[in-house]
Amino acid sequence: MRVLVVEDSQVIRTIIIKELRDLGVIDIEQAEEGLAAMRKIGGKFFDLITLDITMPEADGITVLNHIKAVSPNSRVVICSAHNHKDTVMEAIRIGIDDYIIKPFAVERLNEVLKRQIKLLSKNG
């Protein structure tokens, strides 16, 4: 299983990566801004992508549209402090698999990641 963590905060990236490793995921890549994420997504398939909304270079909605255009089978979990109703509804319309609002409890993150990994294992 290959996972991409797209997050401009190094602290949050580290937390997400630690939780993924604790759940047995070892193939993890990271990007700290939207354009870097889109370059990575264009070059290889990621089973799961965690994605912030507010980032430099390209925002999460732009990256999400790119994901769904080039890799529609990738599962996407938004992890963002941005919880404006219109943005959340747009992300749902485009096709996210879950939405975690920051700041989040690590237990909530773990629960969502575990569920996504289980779904991928069942379908893969």
Query: Domain coordinates of the chain in residue numbers?
Result: 2-122
- Name the CA dihedral angle for 43, 11, 95, 112, rounded to a multiple of 10 degrees: 120
Which phi and psi angles does 101 have, rounded to 5°? Answer: -90, 130
Distance (Å, whole) CA 123 – CA 114 = 14
Q: What is the architecture, at CATH level 2, of domain 2-122?
A: 3-Layer(aba) Sandwich (3.40)
Distance (Å, whole) CA 25 – CA 21 = 5
Distance (Å, whole) CA 6 – CA 30 = 6
Length of the chain: 124
Which phi and psi angles does 95 have, rounded to 5°? Answer: 125, 50
- SS3 of residue 81 by DSSP: coil
pLDDT in tens, 28-61: 999 999 999 999 999 899 999 999 999 888 999 9
pLDDT in tens, 72-122: 999 999 999 877 889 989 999 999 999 999 999 999 999 999 999 999 998
